[in-house]
Every structure is written in structure tokens, then in C-alpha cells.
Amino acid sequence: MWNLFSVPLAVVVAALTVAPAIAANPIVQTKFTADPAPLVQDGVVYLYTSHDEDDAADFKMLDWMLYSSTDMVNWTDHGVVASLATFPWAVQSNDAWAPQVVARNGKFYLYAPVSVAGWPKNVIGVAVADHPAGPFKDALGKPLIDKAEGYIDPTVAIDDDGQAYLYWGNPNLWYVKLNEDMVSYSGPIVKSDSKPANYQEGPWFYKRGRHYYMAYASTCCPEGIGYAMSESPLGPWRYKGQIMESNAASSGNHPGIIDYKGHSYVFGFNYQLNFAQTPVHRERRSVTVARFDYNADGSIPTLPWWDGIGVEQLGHLDPYRRVEAETIAWTSRIKHDWDRPFDWAPGVHTARGPGAGMHVADIVDRTYIKVAGVDFGAGGPSRFAASVASGAKGGQIEIRLGNVQGPLLGTLAVPDTGGWQSWRTIDTPVGAATGVHDLFFVFKGKGRAPLFNFDYWQFQAR
Ligand code: FUB
């Protein structure tokens, strides 16, 4: 990949004493995402989400997405990991609502609410995969939990004794005991008689230490996040308070809670990107995250409404290893004079293609990607390489530090490669930079049409 030769130092950027990189909320900007369901597996956070279509007015939901991170700030897009087509017996036109994935015995089980024809229509399906990123396959060829009104929002946890429990429901809270195969259950479907008074939907069931927790979308509407605790997996559930009060800026909310690398996180969603583009409420939601600390007695403090700041980065990103271009802390577009006066312009998109799998697509002039907290080390880089493809005239990748107008490390000229899936690795010398910086790829080119696609990148150390 590299042609080693000495490079005049166009730019020398010394190590800065930087504030820790943070994930700006919402944490995904390439799509509208909702109903976060995080899973920690082998040191990685896998964040499953539902997906509001770009043209959704009311709920319009066809598939489930996956993002992963090892630092809680830079999220790698794995694209669609399951869709309504995974459950061919379900209504195919809508209703791919809030999922959860759990791991057991080397397999990954995706529980998903979908609908069937007629009334009542709500059922819960289960699909299984050998890897967190799928492919997920329908396990049963029929619903796991057959139809009743309000059978949505499944959540699963496995107790220390190996017994797995599936909870779900709006506005009631139901449960069954899952068998060890995770795709069947024993005993009756039970309606919990200790559902907290402000419970609405979106339960998130887990055990931490000796405490069992039931977090959920509380109050309606708008929804906050409430939680209850118990000393038993089946309750009784004692209401403990609000993890987050509701907020008029957001009609919905939906918790997903994990511990990761010594910290505790709650995910939810807001409508920030929708309202950054229009004053009209549409079901175009965006997943958010906040960090919190449990109190000594296991209770959870009440957090402020989702801020735009997010959480601190855990560690730094190594730029001398191949990094997928769809690893993104933030993407947007440098605005034009003719843009509407809202806060945020959509940036790049992601797509899956035959040549490169997941990649960044629809790169147009002035879009950019921020990769947070990149550690160039003491020696710094000498060259930058990227895998790119263009069926048009290509463009440029400006490699900047700190912000979209920050010091220019180098510019990679992307040619017409002969097709949108005809991938070439192109490299360029870069100036010196040491220490930790937020890295910005600012895309430039002529016209308003897509310029090129971008699969991965890597720096060479000096
Ligand atoms: O996303 C569709 C539905 O909205 C979910 O299933 C509910 O929890 C609410 O977030």
C-alpha cells in the first residue's frame, strides 16, 4: 500500500493538551434510529436499534440496524442486520419495532415485535445468528409469542442460575420463562401484577449484583424513563423513580442500559435531528446516550434530559490500523448560504455494496466525518491511504485536525475509478501531527451529485 519516500513537512501539529473527546448526542446521524438495545460482548458494545425511514411521518419501520464501538464515541455502522423479510409470515410493510439481542451458548438471539394480519396484530418473533452482526435467521417460522394487543417491546435477561426471562408489553407488562434453547418457553404467559404505575412500554430487564431492574418508558406523553427494582426476577416490582423526566421536546423515550469498561450507560432517543431540519414533529428519532453512577444502594439517580454533549471517549483510536470509513463520531455538511436556517445539515450516508460490504456512500461536496480522539503518537504519520470508488469524477478528501477548518494534514485526490463499486487504494503524503486529535475528513468536489464512496482508511507511521 505504501511507497516510502521522505515527505516535506507541510504541516506540523504538535501534541495538544486536549479535553477528552466526547460523543455528541445523538450518536448516529447517518440514519434515524430508535429503541436502542445495547449488548456488551467480548469487549465491544453492540448497539441494535430500530430504524425510522427517512420519509417517515408516523412510524414507518422496516428493519433493524447495528452499530458497534469500543470507545463509546466512534460508532461503526454494520447496517441492516435483520428486517421484516427475516420474518416472512409477518406484515412486510411496517412495524419493525423495538428489538433486543441476547447471547447464549455462542449464539445471538434477536427478539423483535412485528405484526400479523388482522386484529389483534402484535406478536414477537425470534431470529438467531452465529455472530452479533448476523445474518439473523428466523428461528421458528412463526411467532414465539402469538398475537395479542400490546405484545411489543421484548426484553430478555438470563439469571445466574441459567433461567432466561422474556418480558414485554404496552400498556401491561407480561413475562414468560424461556427454555434453554431461547426459542421456546415453559409455563403460561403471565401478566405482572406489580407493574409500576407510570409504566408505558419499552421494558429493559437486567440483573446487577443482587438486584433485578426493570427500566421502561414511563409516563405518557411525553415519555420519560422510569425504573423499578426487585429481589426476584419475577417481582414484585417496586417503583424507584425516574431515571429521566419526560420532556416536551420528545414524545417518546426508550431505555437500554449497560455497564461497559467500568462505567454505566443509559441509551434512549430524542427527535433532535428531526427538529434540526423542520419544526414539524415526525417519527424520525435519534438514539442518545448518557453516563451515570449507581448509588451505593443500587438505586439510579435522576439524570437531566439528553444533552448534546454525550459521553467521554474511553481510550483513543489507533490511526495506524485499518479503520472502516463508516466509523463515525459525527457527520454533517458545512452549510451553504442557501440552506434553511436550522441547526444541522445531513452528512454522509452508509450503504452495503458487493465490492466492499459496508461503506460510506453519497459523499457530496462539503460533507464531513469526524473521528474523535485519534492518537497519532509521538512520531506522527507520514502517509494516508484510503479505499475509494467513484463512478463520477471523484473529488478530494481534506484531512484536517480539530475541526472542519483545522490544520490541513493533507489532501487525497480521489479519481474516477470506473464505477461506484470499483475500489482502489489511493495514498498521499501527510504533514506531521503528534498526540491526540479529533480527525476530520472534509469532502470536496464539483456539483451537488455524489462524488465517490469511501470504504476504509489508514495512516502510516513516520
Ligand atoms: O419504535 C416503535 C415503538 O415506539 C416502540 O416499540 C416503542 O417502545 C416506542 O419507542
CB-based contacts of 161, cutoff 8 Å, min separation 6: none
Separation CA 76–CA 50 (nearest Å): 16
199-213, 272-286, 288-302, 387-401: the lowest-pLDDT one: 272-286
Q: Strand pairing partners for 68?
A: 46, 76
pLDDT recorded at residue 340: 67
Question: Which residue's CA is the nearest one to ligand 1's atom 1?
Answer: 97
The C-alpha angle with vertex 333 and arms to 329 and 339, in degrees rounded to 5, equals 145
Q: What is the pLDDT of residues 172-219, one digit of tens each?
A: 999 999 999 999 999 999 999 999 999 999 999 999 999 999 999 999
How far is the centre of ligand 1, averaged over its atoms, from the C-alpha of 98 (Å)?
Answer: 5
Separation CA 412–CA 397 (nearest Å): 5
Ligand 1 touching residue 445 (CB < 6 A): no
pLDDT recorded at residue 185: 98
Ligand 1 touching residue 283 (CB < 6 A): no
User: Which CATH number is 4-18+316-461's, of 1.10.760.10, 2.60.40.10, 3.40.50.720, 2.60.120.260?
Assistant: 2.60.120.260
The burial of 340, by beta-carbon neighbours within 10 Å (0-12 exposed, 13-18 middle, 19 or more buried), is given as exposed
Ligand 1 touching residue 59 (CB < 6 A): yes
Neighbour tally for 335: CB within 10 Å: 14
pLDDT recorded at residue 360: 98
Ligand 1 touching residue 256 (CB < 6 A): no
Q: Which atom of ligand 1 lies nearest, measured to the CA of 113?
A: 6
* The C-alpha cell that represents 425 in the structure block: 487504494
Tell me where in the chain the CATH 2.60.120.260 domain(s) lie: 4-18+316-461
Pairing of strands 12-13, 432-433: parallel
Q: What is the pLDDT of residues 61-119, one digit of tens each?
A: 999 999 999 999 999 999 999 999 999 999 999 999 999 999 999 999 999 999 999 99
Q: Which atom of ligand 1 lies nearest, measured to the CA of 201?
A: 8
Third-level CATH fold of 32-292? Tachylectin-2; Chain A (2.115.10)
Ligand 1 touching residue 376 (CB < 6 A): no
Ligand 1 touching residue 201 (CB < 6 A): yes
Q: How far is CA 145 from CA 116, 156, 207, 290, 442, in A?
A: 12, 13, 23, 32, 48
pTM above 0.85, yes or no: yes
pLDDT recorded at residue 341: 60
Tell me where in the chain the CATH 2.115.10.20 domain(s) lie: 32-292
Q: Name the residue of 52, 123, 153 whose CB sits within 8 Å of the most ligand 1 atoms, as the mutation to test its pocket.
A: 153
Q: What is the pLDDT of residues 102-117, one digit of tens each?
A: 999 999 999 999 999 9
How far is the centre of ligand 1, averaged over its atoms, from the C-alpha of 437 (Å)?
Answer: 37
Pairing of strands 256-260, 452-461: unpaired
* Among 137, 121, 144, residue whose Cα is nearest residue 83: 137
The C-alpha angle with vertex 349 and arms to 113 and 277, in degrees rounded to 5, equals 80
Separation CA 448–CA 254 (nearest Å): 37
Q: Name the residue of 58, 155, 254 whose CB sits within 8 Å of the most ligand 1 atoms, as the mutation to test its pocket.
A: 254
Q: What is the pLDDT of residues 314-365, one digit of tens each?
A: 999 999 999 999 999 999 999 877 776 667 889 999 999 998 999 999 899 9
